Chains A and B, each alone.
Chain A
Amino acid sequence: MTLSILYSAFLLSAIGVVAAIILYIVSKKFYVYEDPLIAEVEDILPAANCAGCGSPGCKAFAEKLVGTEDISELFCPVGGNDVMKMVSEVLGKEVAEKDPTVAVLRCQGGCDVRPKTTEYQGPRTCSISAMVYGGETDCQYGCLGDGDCVNVCDFDAMYMDEKTGLPVIITDKCTSCGACVKACPRDILEMRPRNKRDLKIFIGCLNEDKGGIAKKACSVACIGCSKCEDICPKDAVIMDNNLAYIDPIACTLCRKCVVVCPTDSIIETNFPPKKVKVAKDKPKVDKTKVDKPKEKVQSIKKTTDA
């Protein structure tokens, strides 16, 4: 009895020793040198593997950072300036400093302000319905509401608002990886700089149609009236194709444009309410104007389907 225990113990240790020797030889023979810096840099990176930097994962990005001479064009949007500073200390290379950004939704066309004129029965993904036609409403620039952006978000920073049918971005969770911007077939999502208090002013519309048509399709559409352009003291508003765009760098967040917008299509976030006027966060719904296109819709009721 004792003997068999001894035998097996001896045999197992012998196998162990032999295997150890083989492993040692193999590890020496097939040794691959890896820059220890890569592991060090990888530890600093956020390990989100979101591909926001353009590389497939954090390890690949670390290799790229160590391997490239000039890394001033490389940037980890998730880690931001803090992480890049640490990387710069480890590698001794200069890094660029970028303003932190956050994704914003440039469409306010919820179900209440942008009436549906057709019905789509195909697969519910934005990419397919965008390929088939201009969307269920009369606005062919706005949100399709099938949530491709929500599906690609790795950080749970987005959800679909069931009331409006539009995606909502949770600014605190957004790491500005840019996955949603790539996923959106309509380019509605945009990366905009965020300052300390996350104050932002931007046009919540992409409709390039002429004013009347745009307004008919959606009551909070930008009608291209240029009022914001006229009032802006810094020339931060650019008018192009019946559509205003606020340049985030030139904008000083004075909020003058928000007040003059006749369709409430300029969105301001996280500002304290103004003392005199009511904050224009919520778009007012003009019932009479919304109902008008609906009547027309009934006479030409039909659906688009692939």
Chain B
Amino acid sequence: MLKTFPKGGIHPKENKLTSSESIKMMPTPKAVYVPIAQHIGIPAEIIVERKEKVKKGQVIAKSGGFVSSNIHTPVAGTVTKLDMIIDSSGYKKQCIVIRTDQKDETNHEILDFPLKKEIIMNQKDILQHITDFGIVGLGGATFPSHVKLDLKNDNHVDCLLINGVECEPYLTADHRLMLEKADEIIVGIQILMHALHIKKAIIGIENNKKDAVKVLAKACKHDKRIKVAALQVKYPQGSEKQLIKAILKREVPKNGLPMDVGVIVHNVGTIYAIYQAIQHNQPLIERVVTVTGKNIKDASNFWVKIGTPIKDLIEEVGGLPEGTRKIVNGGPMMGKAIKNTDVPITKGTSGILVISSEEASRKEAKNCIRCGECVFVCPMGLEPHLLMNLSEKGMYEKASYEDITTCIECGSCSYVCPSHRPLLDYIRFGKSIVKKLATEKN
């Protein structure tokens, strides 16, 4: 019996259409639109001016505080505008528009770095590099990595978990990365273990990616400290708390962090970015994005420069198919529909999913029949039907008492509801109000 988390969870249809497509290089776009708020926390501060020439990898926006991150230009070119454009939040946000210099060779060369195994940097430099090179969590939450690695004295971390679960249907970005860059990922893990004095690392991979389990197990054969754990296929196993529970049987306390139970979790994409930053001095300027959908002609995985408009990617896979209703930034469970295709790829974009009308339409919400399905599938042990009602009626204190803030917004409740009730919509709203009231109180 394979390991998994005990409470709740669902198994949506996997639809991993692109798992056998190797990662292609996306050509450099004519212009990139780099938002300054690509991470959780304080937006970065712009340090370039209009008409300024920038080199590839140059810092264009400086970290605005501790929970913030530097942003680098993914191309060489000229800053044409500091504009407001709609990003994946659905609102207009400040972004830096850079016109690519087509003559500059650095824009077009495909960098093929040889594997570099020895770690020469000392611990302090490693952490400083991770801070400077704008590494954030690439699993989707975009939490600045250096904050996660900033251990306080009273935290004793004994295990590093690597998240290669990719439990979202359709997405295969992490899967392909694990297959193609296995050795680099192992070196990345060794770097973190070296920097934080951790003696144990476990890579968690769901068992629908048997090839990745095999490849990584082979790659880490020489290092006894690193193990690969195959996990049962269940959504939302990619969530930090669920992953810790599944592999280590430890439970992260309410409102606590994985650090409290001696664990640090990083996504495989982040590990690869850390490897690039430390061994090859490469800032985080590109990432793997899965472009997929049932009607997409050439669905595949791509190395994409941060700031590339989504329409470029869609053209690359053969254009929008007829009857497209929704384009989702991320996976079908937790992703967010975007407003138009000018929205740029950010550090947190793991996939672009194109959905047709039949799949996208919401059914009419009916009354709750008290079947309890939502309670059964909630991985956090909450009562979604109750939380929805409390939030709908504005009873936020009661909702706070019922732990609405511990909701991880996985959407399992909305997925299983036979009455098609908008459970997550209301819970997410209630959660934001409860959080706002709590900060006002303090």
Contacts and interface: CB of A to CB of B under 8 A. Distances in A.
Interface string B308-341: 0001000000000000111100000000111111
Contact of B425 (A118, A123, A304): A123
Contact of B429 (A131, A303, A305): A131
B231 to A, nearest CB: 28
Interface stretch (A88-96, A104-112, A132-140): A132-140
B326 A134 contact: no
A239 B360 CA distance: 43
B155 interface: no
B91 A303 contact: no
Interface string B61-88: 0000000000000000000000010100
A306 interface: yes
Contact of B337 (A117, A127, A304): A304
Among B336, B361, B429, the one with the most A-chain Cβ atoms within 10 Å of its Cβ is B429
Contacts of B365: 123
Contacts of A131: 428-429, 432
B86 A134 contact: yes
Interface in B390-425: 422, 424-425
Contacts of B428: 128, 131, 306
Contacts of A132: 90, 336, 425
A16 interface: no
Interface in B334-388: 336-341, 360-362, 365
Contacts of A117: 339-340
A140 B93 CA distance: 11
A189 to B, nearest CB: 19
Contacts of B338: 302, 304
B337 A305 contact: yes
Interface residues of A, number: 20
A209 interface: yes
B337 A303 contact: yes
B11 interface: no
Nearest to B340: A300
Contacts, number: 70
Contact of B92 (A134, A304, A306): A134
Contacts of B426: 123, 128
B411 to A, nearest CB: 9
A123 B326 CA distance: 17
A122 interface: yes
A287 interface: no
A2 interface: no
Contacts of A134: 86, 90-92, 339
For the residues of B in contact with A, the DSSP-based class is mixed
Contact of B84 (A121, A128, A209): A209
Contact of A123 (B92, B337, B340, B422): B422
Contacts of A122: 362, 422, 425
Nearest to B341: A300
A299 B405 CA distance: 39
A302 B335 CA distance: 15
B326 A303 contact: yes
Nearest to B91: A134
Contact of A302 (B91, B340, B429): B340
B22 interface: no
A205 B28 CA distance: 40
Interface in A41-98: none
Contacts of B429: 127-128, 131
A128 B425 contact: yes
A28 interface: no
Contacts of A303: 325-326, 337, 360
A186 to B, nearest CB: 11
Given A122-B362, A128-B426, A302 B86 contact: no
Nearest to B391: A128
B92 A140 contact: yes
B281 interface: no
A118 B339 contact: yes
A275 interface: no
Interface of B: 84, 86, 89-92, 311, 324-327, 336-341, 360-362, 365, 422, 424-426, 428-429, 432
7 contacts: A118-B340, A127-B429, A128-B426, A134-B339, A300-B311, A302-B324, A306-B428
Given A131-B432, A209-B84, A305-B362, 18 more contacts: A118-B339, A118-B340, A122-B362, A122-B425, A123-B425, A128-B426, A131-B428, A134-B86, A134-B92, A301-B325, A302-B325, A302-B337, A303-B325, A304-B337, A304-B339, A305-B326, A306-B336, A306-B422
